[in-house]
Chain A
Amino acid sequence: MRWAVILLTTLLAGCASLGERSSAAEETARSFLQAVADGDGAAACGALAPETEAEIDAPCEQSILSEALTAPSPVADSRVYGQSALVTFADDAVFLAVFRDGWRVVAAGCTSRGERPYDCRIQGG
């Protein structure tokens, strides 16, 4: 009985943790797209993963604003697996990964191509 309680508590904690991680990934994706829509290039670049930022022409703060990313619509779906996440909006998808300071955007402006990798406006090397 005691083991059943411990197991149930652990499972519920796992679910809560997954829910929290999913919300945090959604928030990072939304903030990133909102920063681009608001013309706040510094905030948008600050949300990028290092390799993704390195692929954008310097200065990132200006170049990121010309990437034709759409403003965030309501989240349609979010999937979190281990260190990676995919947040899907009505007309955009954002890939994220966990870094020391939390979620960061790995690729954005992505559209599905079925079994092939997503086609993304910005992504790392």
Chain B
Amino acid sequence: MSNHISDETIEYVGILAQLDLNEEEKVKAKEDMEQMLEYIDTLNELDTEGIEPKTHISDTTNVFREDVVTNGDGSDDVLANAPLKKDEYLSVPKTIG
């Protein structure tokens, strides 16, 4: 198969995607991705030499404005959504030793 995805690649994609896959899911993910990439490879039938990649369809340029706060202090509401909080902080596992 032209798009063989190695175990290392699936490991690496898992790291990039921040996903924890078990062995069974890894096998399935490999199959799915190989199938999708095989399909995506049909794009290679098109000659795109010299074509500018189009990131955005619109011709507009970046819009800048002064960085002025227009909404009020919503920190209580924001914190109310946190799965875990301590006083007025979001709580996460210890990150430095």
A and B associate: no
